[in-house]
């Protein structure tokens, strides 16, 4: 599966089968996460068996992601500037998971930290969580914004810029808000977030998608 196909087929999935990630799929996913960690000096951890991650309450168990016991946990230094690398590397893992036949969902607040399930180095904090597994379904596409609603460009719009924006609109965003905008000035692309929760994370993911869609165009970020 090519990356563009993975972007098109990726949808947020919130209910999962009771099926472990094993064999070659597990090995390839772990190898990819290790590569991303090495290249970016990061500390992502794949937690393969943690039933408490999305369970709440002392009575009948309520789950925010039913059936999901597998998460990717993204830890970062307690300092500004972690959002863009978190967004890019997290989405790299999301798309790799899609290529391996898995499903995912970026998680905002509906998870438990379960501190005994992962390792926190001195000066780090848990920043992001991604649910990963075999979904009950492949998820559903949502009605998104048209490209002209999130872009500004001289006419005629260059194909590479339009392809980049179309790829950005395939990116996951909080509540499917798509609160970002791309502006073309010569060979410089300026990307700005809207207001709201997680819009800076959303913009980082959208910019990564834009880069994939616009490649191999020689543009620079402004």
CATH number where 155 lies? 3.40.109.30
Residue 159 CA from chain centroid, whole number:
25
Has residue 140 been placed in a domain?
Answer: no
Pick from 26, 27, 106, 100: which is nearest to 73 by CA? 106
Q: How far is residue 55's CA from residue 66's CA, in Å, rounded to a whole number?
A: 8
CA distances from 4 to 17, 83, 94, 166 (A): 26, 24, 13, 11
99 and 167 together in one domain: no
Confidence category of residue 59, pLDDT binned at 50, 70, 90: very low
12 and 109 together in one domain: yes
Q: What pLDDT shows up at residue 71? A: 83
Which residues, including other chains, have CB under 8 Å from residue 170's CB and lie 6 or more apart? 7, 8, 10, 209
Has residue 196 been placed in a domain?
Answer: yes
| The total number of structural domains that make up the chain | 2
* Domain encompassing residue 19: 3-133
CB 207 within 8 A of CB 215: no
| Runs of H (alpha helix) within 41-134 | 83-99
178 and 126 together in one domain: no
Q: What pLDDT shows up at residue 60? A: 43
Residue 61: pLDDT over 60: no
Overall pTM surpassing 0.85 (yes/no): yes
Q: Which of 37-41, 76-80, 151-155 has the highest mean pLDDT?
A: 151-155
CA distances from 41 to 14, 34, 44, 109 (A): 30, 10, 10, 25
| Runs of H (alpha helix) within 41-197 | 83-99, 159-168
96 and 19 together in one domain: yes
DSSP state of 109: S
Confidence category of residue 72, pLDDT binned at 50, 70, 90: confident
Has residue 139 been placed in a domain?
Answer: no
CA distances from 193 to 68, 80, 90, 152, 155 (A): 31, 17, 18, 14, 23
| Runs of H (alpha helix) within 100-193 | 159-168
Q: How far is residue 205's CA from residue 74's CA, in Å, rounded to a whole number?
A: 14
75 and 162 together in one domain: no
123 and 153 together in one domain: no
Residue 66: pLDDT over 90: no
- CATH code for the domain in which residue 106 is found: 3.40.109.10
Q: Examine the fold and report which residue of 89, 104, 133 is the final residue of a domain before the chain moves on.
A: 133
Has residue 222 been placed in a domain?
Answer: no
First to last CA, the chain: 32
Pick from 153, 161, 198: which is nearest to 176 by CA? 198
Average of per-residue pLDDT across 96-114: 86
Has residue 13 been placed in a domain?
Answer: yes
25 and 122 together in one domain: yes
Residue 140: pLDDT over 80: yes
Average of per-residue pLDDT across 104-127: 78
What's the chain's average pLDDT?
89
Instruction: Give the H/E segment covering residue 126.
Output: strand 124-133
176 and 200 together in one domain: yes
68 and 111 together in one domain: yes
């Amino acid at each position: 599966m090519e990356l563009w196909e993975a972007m098109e087929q990726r949808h947020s999935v919130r209910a999962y089968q009771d099926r472990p990630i094993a064999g070659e799929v597990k090995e390839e996913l772990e190898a990819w996460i290790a590569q991303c960690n090495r290249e970016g000096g990061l500390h992502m951890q794949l937690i393969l068996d943690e039933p408490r991650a999305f369970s709440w309450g002392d009575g009948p168990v309520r789950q925010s992601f039913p059936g999901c016991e597998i998460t990717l946990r993204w830890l970062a230094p307690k300092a500004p500037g972690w959002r863009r690398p978190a967004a890019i590397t997290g989405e790299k893992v999301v798309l790799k998971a899609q290529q391996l036949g898995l499903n995912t969902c970026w998680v905002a607040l509906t998870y438990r930290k379960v501190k005994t399930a992962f390792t926190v180095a001195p000066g780090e904090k848990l920043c992001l969580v991604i649910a990963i597994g075999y979904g009950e379904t492949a998820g559903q596409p949502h009605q998104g914004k048209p490209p002209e609603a999130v872009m500004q460009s001289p006419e005629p719009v260059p194909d590479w810029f339009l392809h980049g924006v179309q790829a950005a609109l395939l990116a996951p965003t909080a509540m499917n808000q798509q609160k970002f905008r791309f502006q073309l000035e010569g060979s410089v692309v300026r990307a700005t977030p809207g207001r709201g929760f997680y819009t800076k994370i959303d913009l980082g993911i959208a910019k990564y998608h834009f880069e994939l869609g616009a490649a191999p165009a020689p543009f620079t970020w402004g």
